[in-house]
Structures are given as structure tokens and as C-alpha cells.
């Protein structure tokens, strides 16, 4: 609060000249002649480890062309270059949030002048690294999926030091960000384009949930939750590949040791559109999609799985869900449906190979809650006993092979 | 300035009579877990569940969201990484099994 006025403009190092830091972030005009073209993608040229899912923006002298509290009756307008960056990244499914040493009115003003609906806003006088941590928690994404843009080198240093996984940028660097791989998701689906809106719906849903008196199941039912499980079609393939690339907390193949013998899935990260497309016509293989909607909004396809069947064993080489759908009964419904279908088909075993690390704890919890255990040593495969009574499927789930499925 | 909770960090204090974690430690961990469960699920009645209550399933209904919040809170307050030490998450069977798992591994603060 005091620093903004205390630092004279001409001594702030980054206010004088756009400074490109980090040779690992070449702008689009420096493609590097030694790089092989995209038609020769070696294994090391996969998507970057941390694609940015949300950009957290400072307001004063960053998104606005001045300082909100020092501008009297007429607050400053939007920086036109960065407003265009907001729109370009937003169209790619990247979220935007605000972290500002300002009263909340500054966030409302910024939303108005940039024409952007921010998925989260932290206004206050605490550390910005704490604000980023809260934004990540609110949006249900990992801190290292954030980028942070601020004109103040002190704030950038604070965030960079407290949260080393965050991509920290000056406004000048942010202006170039649309050309960088971290901001260039390989596929952009209808779900991605609506992502900003869906997070706003999520905020309204969470507020309603907090004021709701009953259990979670009662809230899901009262919100008109509808989970639809269905066989995938060719039109679903881009979104399936996008989910496979973007999900981590709920992705049974991510973090798994590559190349297990007899594994139908390629090592994590190679689940391309071609791979999914090929599975659609493969024998004894099902590709399944899961869609979610309720009275607050339509989240589209939020999950899916691949099933390979033989007489005795159903194996699920990939089970995935967007973390946006966490807490809404989706993964539980999918696991219950898989169990019911495998049992009904007469299989004796249902296997879900899944590594176990610190990042997929939510999926491991869902598997444990659904009665899955890992009986043997690594490589880990979760198993469920199919001899017991099948788990119930809530009435708001529509799924193939389920008696009530067609009427929900 | 700081919101509630920041000054409230405490591990399972050693039993004041014996100076080491014991029955009193287990009882206080169990109480803390009941309070966490009530907080993450928003269901105050969970403050009174007996140790034999299953965490997954009808009574408590722990799922991936509430379970993640619970484990995060346990790590913050007791320094125990349940998911890292118990890959199968068998310790989450009941309130009592989880409390025993945490009480055994909790780092008493301010002592070795």
C-alpha cells in the first residue's frame, strides 16, 4: 500500500525498459533455428511440464494505466495491450484472476474497463504469494499452474521466492505471453472456451452449497445435478485428449511408471487424439465419456475412462476427471458404474492401474472410498472385489446398461 | 491481523503426566479429527461420532474433496503425511484407525 507511492517511477528497474528475462521463454520472433520443426517431435518436445491454467494479474500500473486509489473521481482505464492478452488467453481456456493491494471496488472497476469476468479476485494488503495460494485453492488448481503478472519488481520477487513453481512475469513479458508454449494448449475445445464462465458458475454453486443445510448428496440433488456416462464418439476425441493432457489430480495414468508389460495405455502424456481415435474401433475396448450439468451451469465433458475387457478381467488403463468437477459426485458415480457393469458382465476382477504419489491423492481417496485396494507390490493396480453387493448409483446418474438410465 | 487459526497450531501434546504421547495423546488427536471432519463436511454432528465410525460410506461420507481437505489439515497440524506413508489409505477405515495412525507419528512440538 505504501510502496506504490514510495517508489519513484524512474528508479523502478523494470519500468524503464521492457526486459526479457529467462532464455527459456523466447518470444515467437526467436524460434531458434536449431530447433527441429514440429513435424519431428522428439520425446523431449512434449507439452511443457506446467501449462498455465490461470494468470493472476496485478491491477495498478498493470491492467490499469495508473493507480486506482490515486486517481480521484476518474479511475484509470485498461491497458489496451494487456486487455487484448486477456481476451486471447481467455479464448484458449486460460483463466484470469486478480491479486491487488486495493479495495474490492478496484477489482469491479478492472472487470468493467477490461470487459473481462475474472474467475477469482484477492484484494487486500497481505502478501501476494498468499493471495495466489488462495486463488489456486478457490479454483481447484495447482499453484504451479499459475502465472503472475505485476509491474512491481518487489512483488515479483516475493512471489517468485515463496512459490517457485509460479511463472512470474512483468507486464512487458505478459504482452508476449500468447506466443509462449506455456500459454498454448495443444487443443482448444468448447469446454476450454467456456472455462471462465464455468468458474463463475462454480463460485455461485459454492456459495449456495455453503448456505445449504443438508448433506452433500442432498445438495447435489437439490442443485439438479445430472451426470451422464456414455460411450465416446469421434466428436469427443479432442476433449478426451485435452482431459488426458490437463488432468493430474484425477488421472490414473499420470505419474505412472512408463511401459508396463501388457499395458494398453501408452506412457502418460502420449494419450493423443490419434490414440483415442484408434481405441474407438478397437476390439474389446470401450472409451467412455462423463458429462456434468446442474441448475447453475453445464460443465460439458468433465471426465472419461478407457476399458479393456476379457472374459475374467476388466482393466481400466485410463481414468480421468477434471478437478473442476471435484466434490460433485462424478468420480464416485463413474467408479460405481464401472463396478456394477464389470460385475454384471461376469468379470471376476476390475483392475485400475494407478501410480501413487503426492499429486493424485484425490483420486486415491476416491478409489479407497469406492472400495478399491492395491493388493500387491508396485506397479500398483487398484482392485475391487466384484463378489459383494454392487454399489448403488444415485438417481441423477444416466448410464448405459443401467435400468433407470434412460429415464433420468 | 491474521485470521483465526494461525496462533492455534498445536500438535498432540505429550501426556502431561508421563511426558510422552499415550492415551491422552490419542484422545486429543481423536477429538481434533472430529473437529476437522465437522469443519470440512460442514456437519456439526460429526463432533460426536464414536471411534469405530467408518469414514467412507454413509455415516461420514468422506470423499475425494473432503478427504483431501482432511489430510491437508492433518499434515498442517500434526506434520503427518498420511497419503505419503499409507499408500493404500487403509488408515482411513475408521475415525479410530486414523487417530491411532496420526498419534503414533505426530511430531510433538518443541521437543525432539
Residue B5 clears pLDDT 70, i.e. is over it = no
Q: Could you write out the DSSP letters of every residue in A234-275?
A: GGGHHHHHHHHHH--TTBSSTTPPS--TT-SSPSTT---HHH
The whole-number pLDDT of residue A376 equals 75
Backbone angles phi, psi at A45, to 5 degrees: -105, 30
The whole-number pLDDT of residue A13 equals 38
31-90 of B, contacting A, C-beta below 8 A: 41-43, 56-57, 61-68, 71, 81, 83-84, 87-90
Q: Quote the CA–CA distance of A238 and A244 in Å, as a whole number.
A: 10
Q: Which three cell numbers stand for residue A102?
A: 486495493
| Beta partners for residue A319, in sequence order | A305
| Beta partners for residue B94, in sequence order | B54
342-381 of A, contacting B, C-beta below 8 A: 356, 358, 361-366, 368-369, 373-374, 380
The whole-number pLDDT of residue A57 equals 98
* pLDDT confidence bin for A72, thresholds 50/70/90: confident
In a 13 Å sphere around the CA of B53, the CA atoms on its Cβ side amount to: 19
Where is pLDDT greater, at A234 or A212? A234
Q: Could you write out the DSSP letters of every residue in A54-121?
A: EEEE-IIIIIBSS-GGGSTTS---B-HHHHHHHHHHHHTT-EEEEEESS-HHHHHHHHHHHT---SEE
User: Angle of helix B64-78 relative to helix B95-105, nearest 10 degrees?
Assistant: 30
Q: Quote the CA–CA distance of A80 and A385 in Å, as a whole number.
A: 59
The answer to whether A210 faces chain B, any CB pair under 8 Å, is yes
- Residue in A210, A217, A374 nearest the CB of B87: A374
Backbone angles phi, psi at A73, to 5 degrees: -75, -20
- pLDDT, one tens digit per residue, over A55-71 is 999 999 999 999 999 88
User: How many Cβ atoms sit within 10 Å of the Cβ of residue A172?
Assistant: 18
The whole-number pLDDT of residue A357 equals 82
- pLDDT, one tens digit per residue, over B21-42 is 444 489 999 999 999 999 888 7
Q: Quote the CA–CA distance of A280 and A64 in Å, as a whole number.
A: 49
Q: Quote the CA–CA distance of A400 and A228 in Å, as a whole number.
A: 9
Q: CA distances (Å), A199 to each of A142, A205, A293, A324, A377, in order?
A: 15, 10, 13, 8, 40
| Beta partners for residue A313, in sequence order | A349
Boundaries of every domain in chain B:
21-105
- Residue in A358, A362, A368 nearest the CB of B84: A358
The whole-number pLDDT of residue A256 equals 62
Q: Which residue of A lies nearest to B83 if distances are taken between CA atoms?
A: A361
Among the listed residues A236, A408, A212, A389, the one whose alpha carbon sits nearest the alpha carbon of residue A320? A236
pTM (two decimals): 0.68
CATH T-level topology, domain B21-105: 1.10.1200
Residue A29 clears pLDDT 90, i.e. is over it = no
Using the beta-carbon criterion (under 8 Å), do A361 and B61 form an inter-chain contact? no
Q: Quote the CA–CA distance of A251 and A322 in Å, as a whole number.
A: 9
Q: Residue A259: left (phi > 0), alpha (psi -120 to 50), or beta?
A: left
Among the listed residues A242, A235, A240, the one whose alpha carbon sits nearest the alpha carbon of residue A93? A242
| Beta partners for residue A122, in sequence order | A99
DSSP H or E run through A170: none
Q: Do residues A56 and A132 touch, judged by C-beta distance below 8 A?
A: yes
How near does any CA of chain A get to the CA of B32, in Å?
21
| Beta partners for residue A301, in sequence order | A291
Q: Which three cell numbers stand for residue A372?
A: 478399491
Q: Do residues B52 and B43 touch, judged by C-beta distance below 8 A?
A: no
The whole-number pLDDT of residue B2 equals 40
DSSP H or E run through A73: none
Q: Which three cell numbers stand for residue A9?
A: 517511477
| Beta partners for residue A351, in sequence order | A315, A383
Q: Do residues A120 and A98 touch, judged by C-beta distance below 8 A?
A: yes
Q: What is the largest CA-CA distance in chain A?
A: 75
Among the listed residues B84, B86, B87, B64, the one whose alpha carbon sits nearest the alpha carbon of residue A251? B64
Query: Could you give the 3-state DSSP secondary structure of residue A64?
Result: strand
Q: CA distances (Å), A350 to each of A51, A310, A312, B66, in order?
A: 33, 11, 9, 26
Q: CA distances (Å), A102 to each of A96, A116, A137, A147, B66, in order?
A: 17, 18, 21, 20, 32
* pLDDT confidence bin for B109, thresholds 50/70/90: low
* pLDDT confidence bin for A36, thresholds 50/70/90: very low
24-53 of A, contacting B, C-beta below 8 A: none
Query: Could you give the 3-state DSSP secondary structure of residue A350?
Result: strand
Q: Residue A260: left (phi > 0), alpha (psi -120 to 50), or beta?
A: beta
The whole-number pLDDT of residue A186 equals 75
Q: What is the DSSP letter of A59?
A: I
Mean pLDDT rounded to a whole number for chain A: 82
Query: Distance between alpha carbon A56 and the CA centroid of its chain, in Å?
Result: 15
Catalogue all structural domains in chain A, each as residue range(s) with its CATH number: 47-183 (3.40.50.1000), 214-406 (3.40.630.30)
Q: Quote the CA–CA distance of B41 and A219 in Å, as a whole number.
A: 12
The whole-number pLDDT of residue A260 equals 44
Residue A4 clears pLDDT 80, i.e. is over it = no
The whole-number pLDDT of residue A121 equals 93
How near does any CA of chain B get to the CA of A139, in Å?
13
* pLDDT confidence bin for A355, thresholds 50/70/90: confident
Strands (E), B1-112: none
Chain position carrying cell 482392485: A383
Using the beta-carbon criterion (under 8 Å), do B64 and A217 form an inter-chain contact? no
User: Cα–Cα–Cα angle for A129, A186, A193, nearest 5°?
Assistant: 70
Q: Quote the CA–CA distance of A149 and B80 in Å, as a whole number.
A: 35
Q: Residue A403: left (phi > 0), alpha (psi -120 to 50), or beta?
A: alpha
The whole-number pLDDT of residue A254 equals 81
Where is pLDDT greater, at B64 or A6? B64
Amino acid at each position: 500500500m505504501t510502496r506504490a507511492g514510495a517508489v519513484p517511477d524512474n528508479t523502478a528497474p523494470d519500468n524503464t525498459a521492457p526486459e526479457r528475462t529467462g532464455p527459456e521463454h523466447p518470444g515467437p520472433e526467436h524460434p531458434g533455428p536449431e530447433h527441429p520443426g514440429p513435424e519431428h517431435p522428439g520425446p523431449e518436445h512434449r507439452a511443457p511440464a506446467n501449462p498455465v491454467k490461470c494468470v493472476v494479474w496485478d491491477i495498478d500500473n498493470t491492467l490499469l494505466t495508473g493507480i486506482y486509489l490515486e486517481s480521484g473521481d476518474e479511475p484509470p482505464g485498461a491497458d489496451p495491450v494487456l486487455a487484448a492478452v486477456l481476451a486471447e488467453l481467455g479464448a484458449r481456456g486460460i483463466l484470469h484472476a486478480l491479486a491487488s493491494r486495493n479495495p474490492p471496488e478496484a477489482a469491479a472497476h478492472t472487470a468493467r474497463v477490461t470487459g473481462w469476468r475474472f474467475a477469482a479476485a484477492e484484494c487486500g494488503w497481505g502478501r501476494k504469494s498468499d493471495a495466489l495460494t488462495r486463488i489456486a485453492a478457490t479454483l481447484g488448481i495447482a499453484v504451479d499452474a499459475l502465472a503472475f503478472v505485476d509491474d512491481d519488481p518487489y512483488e515479483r520477487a516475493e512471489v517468485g521466492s515463496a512459490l517457485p513453481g509460479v511463472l512470474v512475469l512483468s507486464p512487458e513479458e505478459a504482452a508476449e505471453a500468447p506466443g509462449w508454449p506455456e500459454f498454448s494448449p495443444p487443443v482448444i475445445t468448447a469446454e476450454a472456451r467456456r472455462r471462465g464462465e464455468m468458474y463463475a458458475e462454480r463460485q455461485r454453486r459454492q456459495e449456495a452449497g455453503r448456505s445449504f443445510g443438508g448433506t452433500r448428496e442432498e445438495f447435489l440433488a437439490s442443485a439438479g445435478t445430472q451426470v451422464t456416462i456414455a460411450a465416446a464418439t469421434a466428436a469427443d476425441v479432442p476433449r478426451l485428449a485435452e482431459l488426458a493432457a490437463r488432468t493430474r489430480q484425477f488421472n490414473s495414468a499420470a505419474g505412472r511408471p512408463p511401459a508396463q508389460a501388457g499395458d494398453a495405455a501408452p506412457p502418460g502424456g502420449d494419450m493423443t487424439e490419434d490414440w483415442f481415435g484408434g481405441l474407438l474401433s478397437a476390439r474389446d475396448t470401450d472409451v467412455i465419456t462423463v458429462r456434468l450439468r446442474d441448475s447453475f451451469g453445464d460443465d460439458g465433458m468433465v471426465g472419461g475412462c478407457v476399458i479393456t475387457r476379457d472374459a475374467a478381467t476388466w482393466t481400466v488403463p485410463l481414468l480421468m476427471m477434471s478437478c473442476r468437477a471435484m466434490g460433485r459426485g462424478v468420480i464416485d458415480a463413474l467408479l460405481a458404474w464401472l463396478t456394477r457393469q464389470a460385475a454384471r458382465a461376469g468379470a471376476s476382477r476390475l483392475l485400475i492401474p494407478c501410480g501413487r504419489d503426492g499429486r493424485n491423492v484425490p483420486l486415491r481417496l476416491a478409489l479407497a472410498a469406492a472400495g478399491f485396494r492395491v493388493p500387491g507390490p508396485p506397479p500398483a493396480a487398484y482392485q475391487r472385489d466384484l463378489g459383494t453387493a454392487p454399489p448403488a448409483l444415485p438417481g441423477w446418474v444416466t448410464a448405459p446398461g443401467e435400468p433407470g438410465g434412460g429415464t433420468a | 491481523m491474521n485470521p483465526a487459526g494461525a496462533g492455534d497450531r498445536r500438535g498432540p501434546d505429550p501426556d502431561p503426566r508421563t511426558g510422552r504421547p499415550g492415551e491422552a495423546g490419542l484422545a486429543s488427536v481423536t477429538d481434533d479429527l472430529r473437529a476437522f471432519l465437522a469443519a470440512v463436511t460442514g456437519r456439526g454432528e460429526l463432533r460426536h461420532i464414536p471411534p469405530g465410525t467408518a469414514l467412507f460410506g454413509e455415516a461420514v461420507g468422506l470423499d475425494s474433496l473432503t478427504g483431501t481437505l482432511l489430510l491437508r489439515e492433518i499434515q498442517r497440524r500434526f506434520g503427518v503425511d498420511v497419503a505419503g506413508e499409507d499408500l493404500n489409505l487403509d488408515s482411513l477405515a475408521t475415525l479410530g484407525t486414523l487417530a491411532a495412525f496420526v498419534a503414533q507419528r505426530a511430531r510433538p512440538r518443541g521437543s525432539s
